[in-house]
A and B are shown apart, each in its own frame.
Chain A
Amino acid sequence: AQSVAQPEDQVNVAEGNPLTVKCTYSVSGNPYLFWYVQYPNRGLQFLLKYITGDNLVKGSYGFEAEFNKSQTSFHLKKPSALVSDSALYFCAVRDSMDSNYQLIWGAGTKLIIKP
């Protein structure tokens, strides 16, 4: 069965420090992986996705994510955190073998950047 895990409910980082938000997945076929961000009282915004190719994917607002097939992970990273990065982050996966084309979502990780 397909699944996504975001093992941390909350991540606290000081402004200017690097940040990592973790995501692991389980699928039968090849994974299509996504990160979305939700700012307070807003809908979800697409950040980046991995479909194929280079394992390091760059996205919006200076974020990047690294696909690691052996560890079945797709962690979100940023070299230097900003207070404005504080938000709720969701990882999602679609299985290339799934004919329903549905995304499976993680529970979300709250990122808090302290000045």
Chain B
Amino acid sequence: DVKVTQSSRYLVKRTGEKVFLECVQDMDHENMFWYRQDPGLGLRLIYFSYDVKMKEKGDIPEGYSVSREKKERFSLILESASTNQTSMYLCASSLDRNTDTQYFGPGTRLTVL
């Protein structure tokens, strides 16, 4: 089975702090994604990556950056956390660009005070 892990289940940070969310997948998937999930809004794509050192902006990239130095790891960075970034963050991976099925990690619930 595909396993996608996220570094923290719950995280509390203060406004202005730099926040790192880590995601690791163990199935040699090419594609990795970061979403945020908010009630009534479904999943919104922040960034995605189709290969190492490659990144593409999703629908809501403002205030975020990403890093993919190794194939199995995809990091989401909040350069200066703000209260409107309080949300559930979901990482996902999929095999390649021709495979649509995405596999999700358990999520990180981030609270910015």
Binding site for B on A (CB under 8 A): 9, 32, 34, 36, 41-46, 49, 51, 90, 92, 94, 100-103, 105-108
- Report if A34-B100 is in contact (Cβ < 8 Å); known contacts: A42-B106, A43-B106, A102-B48: yes
Chain A residue nearest in CB terms to B41: A107
How long is the Cα–Cα vector from A66 to B42 in the complex, in angstroms? 22
B42/A108 in contact, CB under 8 A: yes
* Residues of B in contact with A (beta carbons under 8 Å apart): 4, 40-45, 48, 56, 58, 90, 92, 97, 100-107
Whether A94 pairs with B100 at a CB distance below 8 angstroms is yes
Q: Are B102 and A105 interface neighbours, CB within 8 A?
A: no
A90 engages B42 (CB within 8 Å)? yes
A43 touches B101 (CB 8 A): no
**B97 — which chain A residues lie within 8 A by C-beta?**
101
Task: Please tell me if the beta carbons of B42 and A43 are within 8 angstroms of each other in the complex.
Answer: no
User: Apart from A102-B45, A103-B102, what are 14 other A-B pairs with CB-CB below 8 Å?
Assistant: A9-B40, A32-B100, A41-B106, A42-B107, A43-B4, A44-B92, A44-B102, A46-B101, A100-B56, A101-B97, A102-B58, A105-B43, A107-B41, A108-B40
CA distance A100 to B56 in the complex (A): 10
Judging by beta carbons under 8 Å apart, are B100 and A101 in contact? Answer: yes
Once A101-B97, A102-B48, A102-B58 are accepted as A-B contacts, the answer to whether A46 and B102 lie under 8 Å apart by CB is yes
